[in-house]
Chains A and B, each alone.
Chain A
Amino acid sequence: MAPMTYDAIVVGSGISGGWAAKELTEHGLKTIVLEAGRPIDPAVDYVEHVRPWEKRYRGMRNRKQLERYQPVQRHTGACDEYASKFFVNDLDNPYSTPDGKPFYWIRGRQVGGRSIMWGRCVYRWSDLDFEANAREGVGVDWPLRYKDLAPWWSYVEKFVGIQGRKEGLAHLPDGEFMPPWELNAAEARGREILLQKFGGERLITNARLAVITENHLGRQKCHLCGTCYRGCITLSYFSSINATLPAARKTGNLTLRPFSVVHSVIYDPQTRKATGVRVVDGNTKEMFDVNAKVVFLCASALESTRILLNSATAEFPNGLGNTSGELGHNLMDHIMDGGAVGTLPFARDKREVGRRPDAIYVPRFRNVKTKQKDFLRGYGFEGRAFRQGWERGSEMSGFGAQFKRSLIGDLGPWQMDFGGFGEMLPRHENHIEIDRNLVDAWGIPALRINCAYSENEKKMQEDMVVTAVEMLEAMGATDIKPYKEDNPPGLVIHETGTARMGRDPKTSVLNGHNQVWDVPNVFVTDGACMASTANQNPSITYMALTARAVSYAVGQMKRREL
């Protein structure tokens, strides 16, 4: 068939693709969004209010089906009996890893991508993060500083709708916040105690969340059902489906094409630009081309890089835009599963009404003012104080009428959980490449992922356990249970890097505006672009970078530089 022609192509409709679509269409560009997966209809697909008794295994997961079709995806908690449909079928979407070096690649292929199931935590970076690579001689220097991105964070935050508490921390800058949910009685008491005992260095603050507490741009404030990862019929948390794609549609400039698996970027050696992309129809498996003046790759970090690796030409034998040799390299995730949980001695006479999806955050305190001997960078804690209610019954001793009454009428003591999320350093040897012996269900060459945590991350994880226990002890907690799990990278689902930004085309794939050095009308604005990960949850940064890159691209197009 004859190629379809648009002003702009966006590959992927997740967090980054949704923003690219909104910004490009609002700038008047006729834009096609190519989404590999199926369409999502909130009225049918959102399942946040489905109760356990409506599911065959009461929410205990369809274990055998997961083992068979989603042996990788099942490792993440959200891939459960309600929401497993939002995660890929691993049989259709294979990848390989070396023996003994697993990587859990958790993916969502549908309109909205992983913005449907994301964790909704949004934290800005500071120059402590942007300058770290240069200061320590790790990886390459970011071509950005806080002042470059701050206005774009503000821009996206105002649209996203974010609740948060201003703390005035230099290393975790405040954003554009709407009022947060209050801390519960136990968290509030914990905050007071930590302020006293750690002089503000270890701080319990309200989680900063892309979940609105006031009606916002046609979306209703959160009704606190507590299970955001399954969808939200009131559109209260931010996702592409709930916010950016409807905004893009309103312009009249959007074409959204589901079941469009992008194979590669088409490069014209005469003009040294991309002419468009090659697509495999997800249903018919027919191949077709889409042409455009500019291409935004927002397919998720590893998928965007996979497309570039699969776009090799005579001029770029190792992948399009890979003059530097860094394409596919410097893969990162975060490190988690270090922390502790304990029983708090206070607030037994208080309960909560409403179920917050997320509760508290402890901003990074390592390598901020003082220097750690055994690791670089730092970590923050996500957590909450909670009462188990009836769920404590399986571990509580007793049985019979009194046991039953207690499970129905009491809630158990407050427990506090601190779970660390730490930075992973960029390392050249952590890389992805095309596996020449493996294709996906659409015949597209698949990835081989080579990635492992280093000693720096492992030391950091050990420290998470120590400091979480210290905070619980400071609160007078009893029955403190430290935990540390040795999970493969990928499981935090913050995979980033593989097409890093930089200041020098010899050592980076993208310039400071997410533009491929070698092919100026191709932009990569998802997690692939990251030169480091900091310890903050990354999505809001992808959003800001995407909006900034679109603004830059549109300026270049107006000046006829693209």
Chain B
Amino acid sequence: MRRREVVQFLGAALALPFIPRRAETAIKLGEALHRRLADVPFRTLNREQQALVTNIAEMIIPETDTPGATSVRVPEFIDLILTEWASEDERAPFLAGLADIDKRAATLGASRFVDLPTAKKAELLTALDGARDDKTGAGLAFARLKALTVYGYFTSKVVDQDILKTEMFFNGYQGNVPFTPAV
């Protein structure tokens, strides 16, 4: 990963002084950041929903030695899909599910998910991760959020080009190349 180049790219694109390193930092930055990004208007998610979506997306794919979901603008992608691509039948249950996530947070001692301590956030997301087959509510919203976060992250230019290093030209096909997972 040529981290410096990525930072430079994102810095230019987002007019950000630096890339947030941790989910917590990203969220603290959240509202100030969105005020600054007047050229990237969120059209469906309100400020609270943006903060929630950004927080969860960054927890699904956090900043590590490579960029996280926020850095590659996954929340903006999710808003675009909600606004222009999703039908009302899909959008409404998703937004209701986001509200449900905050309600679940209330049972853990905070009025909103974003105000929970990190450990409690992880506890709630683990529960929602097990409820991804739910047809409504928080489980459904998390399932959609997770799918869009993964998709938006890996189809972003930075990840496609600098992390996956997707190539278009191969000199012949090889179907039997030794492989050791790097995890």
**Interface residues of A, Cβ cutoff 8 Å to B:** 49, 51-53, 56-60, 63-64, 181-185, 187-188, 213, 223-225, 348-356, 390-391, 393-394, 397-411
> How far is it, in angstroms, between the C-alpha of A213 and the C-alpha of B174 when the chains are bound?
13
> How far is it, in angstroms, between the C-alpha of A63 and the C-alpha of B143 when the chains are bound?
21
Q: B129: which of A182, A350, A391, A399 is its contact (CB, 8 Å)?
A: A399
Q: How far is the CB of A400 from chain B (nearest CB, A)?
A: 6
Sorted nearest first, the 6 A-B pairs with minimum C-beta distance are: A184-B175, A409-B182, A394-B147, A393-B150, A354-B170, A52-B155
24 of the cross-chain contacts (CB-CB < 8 Å) are A51-B160, A51-B161, A52-B155, A53-B160, A63-B85, A182-B176, A183-B175, A224-B169, A350-B179, A351-B177, A351-B178, A352-B173, A353-B170, A353-B177, A390-B150, A391-B154, A393-B150, A399-B61, A402-B183, A404-B64, A404-B66, A408-B66, A408-B164, A411-B179
Contacts of A64 in B (CB 8 A): 84-85
Indicate the member of B85, B168, B175, B183 with the most A CB atoms within 10 Å: B175
Please name the residue on chain A nearest to B130 by beta carbon: A397
- Taking A349-B180, A408-B163 as contacts, is the C-beta distance between A58 and B173 under 8 angstroms? no
> How far is it, in angstroms, between the C-alpha of A400 and the C-alpha of B23 when the chains are bound?
10
Contacts of A391 in B (CB 8 A): 150, 154
Contacts of B173 in A (CB 8 A): 181-182, 224, 352-354, 356
Q: B85: which of A60, A223, A355, A393 is its contact (CB, 8 Å)?
A: A60
> How far is it, in angstroms, between the C-alpha of A280 and the C-alpha of B95 when the chains are bound?
51
Contacts of B164 in A (CB 8 A): 390, 408
Interface mask (B51-76 → A, CB under 8 Å = 1, otherwise 0): 00000000111101010100000000
Main secondary structure of the interface of B (DSSP, over half): mixed
Q: How far is the CB of B81 from chain A (nearest CB, A)?
A: 7
Please name the residue on chain A nearest to B163 by beta carbon: A408
- State whether A60 touches B151 (Cβ < 8 A): yes
B side interface size, CB within 8 A: 47
Please name the residue on chain B nearest to A52 by beta carbon: B155
Please name the residue on chain B nearest to A58 by beta carbon: B155
Q: B168: which of A60, A188, A225, A408 is its contact (CB, 8 Å)?
A: A225
Contacts of B174 in A (CB 8 A): 182, 352-354
- State whether A349 touches B178 (Cβ < 8 A): yes
Q: How far is the CB of B12 from chain A (nearest CB, A)?
A: 16
- B137-182, CB < 8 A from A: 143, 146-147, 150-152, 154-157, 160-161, 163-164, 166, 168-182
> How far is it, in angstroms, between the C-alpha of A408 and the C-alpha of B163 when the chains are bound?
8
Q: Confirm or deny: B14 has a beta carbon within 8 angstroms of a beta carbon on chain A.
A: no
Please name the residue on chain B nearest to A404 by beta carbon: B61
Q: How far is the CB of B39 from chain A (nearest CB, A)?
A: 16
- Taking A349-B180, A352-B175, A399-B146 as contacts, is the C-beta distance between A51 and B166 under 8 angstroms? yes
Q: How far is the CB of A215 from chain B (nearest CB, A)?
A: 12
Contacts of A393 in B (CB 8 A): 146, 150, 154
Q: B175: which of A182, A404, A409 is its contact (CB, 8 Å)?
A: A182
Q: Confirm or deny: B125 has a beta carbon within 8 angstroms of a beta carbon on chain A.
A: yes
Contacts of A390 in B (CB 8 A): 150, 154, 164
Q: How far is the CB of B25 from chain A (nearest CB, A)?
A: 15
> How far is it, in angstroms, between the C-alpha of A405 and the C-alpha of B168 when the chains are bound?
24
Q: Confirm or deny: B42 has a beta carbon within 8 angstroms of a beta carbon on chain A.
A: no
> How far is it, in angstroms, between the C-alpha of A182 and the C-alpha of B172 when the chains are bound?
10
Contacts of A394 in B (CB 8 A): 143, 146-147, 150-151
Contacts of B59 in A (CB 8 A): 399-400
Please name the residue on chain B nearest to A62 by beta carbon: B85
Q: A53: which of B155, B169, B172 is its contact (CB, 8 Å)?
A: B155
> How far is it, in angstroms, between the C-alpha of A393 and the C-alpha of B183 when the chains are bound?
14
Q: B176: which of A52, A59, A188, A403 is its contact (CB, 8 Å)?
A: A188
Q: How far is the CB of B150 from chain A (nearest CB, A)?
A: 4
Contacts of A354 in B (CB 8 A): 170, 172-174
> How far is it, in angstroms, between the C-alpha of A348 and the C-alpha of B178 when the chains are bound?
9
- State whether B178 touches A405 (Cβ < 8 A): no
Please name the residue on chain A nearest to B77 by beta carbon: A58
- Taking A185-B175, A393-B150, A408-B66 as contacts, is the C-beta distance between A60 and B81 under 8 angstroms? yes
- State whether B62 touches A400 (Cβ < 8 A): yes
Contacts of A49 in B (CB 8 A): 168
> How far is it, in angstroms, between the C-alpha of A184 and the C-alpha of B85 when the chains are bound?
37
- State whether A52 touches B160 (Cβ < 8 A): yes
- State whether A350 touches B180 (Cβ < 8 A): no
Q: How far is the CB of A13 from chain B (nearest CB, A)?
A: 28
- Taking A52-B155, A390-B154 as contacts, is the C-beta distance between A225 and B169 under 8 angstroms? yes
